[in-house]
Structure 1
């Protein structure tokens, strides 16, 4: 993912671990200069915006983990550059209203689109028809990023039992590849008075539609997204999609 210098928007005042080892949580808290709090304490408004750290899907399966004051959900890497990477991810999270950065494997296990919608609906009242539009667009964008982006699984060329079997087989095989399963998925939401912008990014090989507009991009779900979003823009060579919705 392209690393841009983010402008501050959200100030985190506490760190919450979701089924993450206490020693690792303490180390991350020291890196970020944030106090770590237990679940009950993290739910108090006095703590302001809270950053949640994950180690796999455990602890994030409860819908309460996606409610205020938690505004960002990050799965720290265990690589040698863990500290600067987490610092950048936290700065990036602070530049938007909601931020998620997880591995492909964790995002897939969590059925992430529904979690994002839960977090969003808890902060902004959504009319039923707009909620349906957002859920559809989130599902398509996140599924595309996971399946076609990070896992590099080709879409079904036709609706047939043979193609479905091939697609399912490829999906299982690619998810079993530890390199691909550890690729990152990023979701960033920016709220405005009468609109919101959602960006979904992956670490795949990129994608460009045949035409400059998003319509007609068969197999990527962009046609469907374009019917419900007010605008759709592809960035970073197709690794990032930005969708805007009026509210």
Structure 2
């Protein structure tokens, strides 16, 4: 296992596609303008026979809609909140442009839905050449990365609180309070899955928190006396390589097929 914190690697060469956002209801002028600014197509209607290539399903996030967006003929799902598509990270569209799969949800939604199960199910269905053992390692790593992105990234809750019973009670209080704050609960959690090389698949989990230094965090949690933060060490052991990107707001996990 290697650890690097360099800028993102180039994805493996694949025909570039033109992402298209598919919505079921009539699109507003604001959404149309946002898609033009993002260089993304916009398609209204959900008849499968009419879905353009490289399409991302957009709309309200439910278990059914997310599952549908993560399955063919779609390449992903984005939750469209009050801000429309403007809150969606460019990485999502670039992932689809390069042949990958994307998911963008607000924090409260990612916490409420069975996000881990939905993404793990989609990875197993869309990347069928991945071995069962590797798929299991992906799911374990994704679970840790998602938890960190929601709790420590977007909600900014310190990790040490859960080290004691009293701290855990305080952790739950803070969790409820911050989930009720729209400024925090509407921050994005984004998952992008694509082949960076023919023999390597990357799962990148992005939040909108303050970021962190991956090398420093791993050095601290490597000590036997560390009582928290061991999730990152688990991810490091499960992955082929690990990268911190976007100022520590993205954890890019590489897995050999």
TM-score, with normalisation over the residues of structure 2? 0.76
8 Å contact kept, 2:106–2:189 = yes
Aligned partners of 1:90, 1:200: CA distance in 2, in Å? Answer: 14
In the alignment of these two chains, the number of paired residues is 234
Indicate the SS of the match to 1:173.
helix
Q: Larger RCO: Structure 1 or Structure 2 (Cα < 8 Å, ≥ 6 residues apart)?
A: 2
Q: Deviations over 1:134-185 (max 9, x none)?
A: 0010111111011100011112445433222122221111111110001111
8 Å contact kept, 1:10–1:96 = yes
Match of 1:36 among 29, 39, 44: 44
8 Å contact kept, 1:96–1:189 = no
User: 5+ unaligned residues in a row in structure 1: which ranges?
Assistant: none
RMSD across aligned positions (CA): 3.2
8 Å contact kept, 1:9–1:97 = no
Structure 2 partner of 1:52: 57
Match of 1:153 among 132, 144, 157: 157
1:198 deviation in Å? 1.4
Aligned partners of 2:219, 2:58: CA distance in 1, in Å? Answer: 34
Q: Deviations over 1:79-132 (max 9, x none)?
A: 3xx566569453564245011222111211223222222222112123221111
Q: Deviations over 1:15-46 (max 9, x none)?
A: 433xx6x134797468444333325446x7xx
User: 5+ unaligned residues in a row in structure 2: which ranges?
Assistant: 1-7, 223-227
Aligned partners of 1:226, 1:75: CA distance in 2, in Å? Answer: 30
Aligned partners of 1:10, 1:65: CA distance in 2, in Å? Answer: 20
TM-score, with normalisation over the residues of structure 1? 0.79
Structure 2 partner of 1:180: 184
